[in-house]
Structure formats: structure tokens, C-alpha cells
Amino acid sequence: MIIRPRIYLASQSPRRRELLKQIGINFEVLLLRTDPRRDMDVDETPYGIEPPEDYVQRVCKAKAEAGYAALKLRNLPPFPVLAADTAVVLDGKIFGKPGNAEQAAAMLRQLSGCEHQVLSAVAIALGEHVEAALSTSTVRFAPFDEERIHRYLLTREYTDKAGGYGIQGHAGAFVEHLSGSYSGVMGLPLFETVQLLRHFDYPVP
């Protein structure tokens, strides 16, 4: 029996699954938190003076390495493990995922009428070999008022989204200008992903 080349995706993000399907990548989702033999959770707390670019790549590599460790523990076929991490950055401050609607509203108030950066890192681990790549995009939001923020929060799209918004949903209407990678702002920069997969000899379109 011929085994098709595939990768493992160390993420539960539906956006990342959609993007991999879009470019025809054969993948299987690898859940990190379900193995009782080892704590596979990755600490995403930024270091004190860590630059945002270093932070997002460090976390991304840690996720890929944790995924490959989980793969070995479960005796799964040794295919590459892909992980990604995204951070919204405004004036050097990292905006992670809001824990509730109030935190999301606070983030959106700061982003209103401003230009911010979206840093999306992708990493692949196979054996001892780990590589990462970074995509940086600049997004400018139009100004919006409290009523519009309230209506957006009712959609609950802010859940599990860096900066409290998802560009592929209702928040796409906030975007006045985007320079960079649309897929990177969604959470998985496709150009950088394909380049990394080629480094690991994975057949890509």
C-alpha cells in the first residue's frame, strides 16, 4: 500500500485547516493536550523585553517541537509537524487572544483608526530539524464607535483571535488598508508555509 505524503497540523484553528486545504496539502490534525503522559501545552507568555518578532517565532517553534514530541510518544508515522502562531502588535505592544468580551472591546478601541502589524510565524519540525518563517503585514482600521464594537462583539468572532478580530469575518469591514499577506493575517501565511514545506521535501503545488 502506498502511503501518501502528509503533515501533521499542531493547531485546532479552523482557519488554518481551510488554508491548508486551499493549497492542496494533505494533513492530519494533531491535538497536543490529549496525551496524559506528558504536558504538551506551550507557555505563550512573552518574555519581559522580548521583541514581538522573536516572541511569535519562539512560541511557534515550541508548538512544532511539542507536536513532534507528541507524535513520537504516540508512535505515529514520522511526518513533518506544522505549527503557527499569530500576534497583533500596536506600538510595540503584543495583543494576544482576549479572554472575554471586555478584553476584546479594549483591544478594538485601541486598534480603531490606527495602523497595526500582524506577525504570523509558521514552523515545521521533523526529528531534530526545526525551521520557522515569519510574515509581517500592516493593517489599518477605519475609526469605529462603541456601537459598532458592541455589534461586533455580539458575533463572538473575537473568540480565540489575536487582537480580538478575524479579518475573514465581519471585521473585514474594519480594514481600510492591508499591506502584506491576507492569509498571514488569517493565521497561516501560505507563501512562507509552502517555502518551508519545500525545505522538508514535501511535494507542494
The crossing angle, in degrees rounded to 10, of helices 146-155 and 101-111 is 130
Q: What is the largest CA-CA distance in the chain?
A: 59
CA dist., res. 79 & res. 74, Å (int): 13
* Cell 509552502 -> residue: 194
- 29 closest CA partner among 115, 21, 193, 130: 21
Grid coordinates belonging to 199: 525545505
Q: Which residues are known catalytic residues?
A: 85
In the chain, which residue ranges form alpha helices assigned H by DSSP? 14-22, 52-73, 101-111, 146-155, 182-186, 190-199
CA dist., res. 10 & res. 123, Å (int): 10
Grid coordinates belonging to 26: 494533505
Q: Is the separation of the CB atoms in 118 and 180 below 8 Å?
A: yes
39-8-164 Cα angle (round to 5): 70
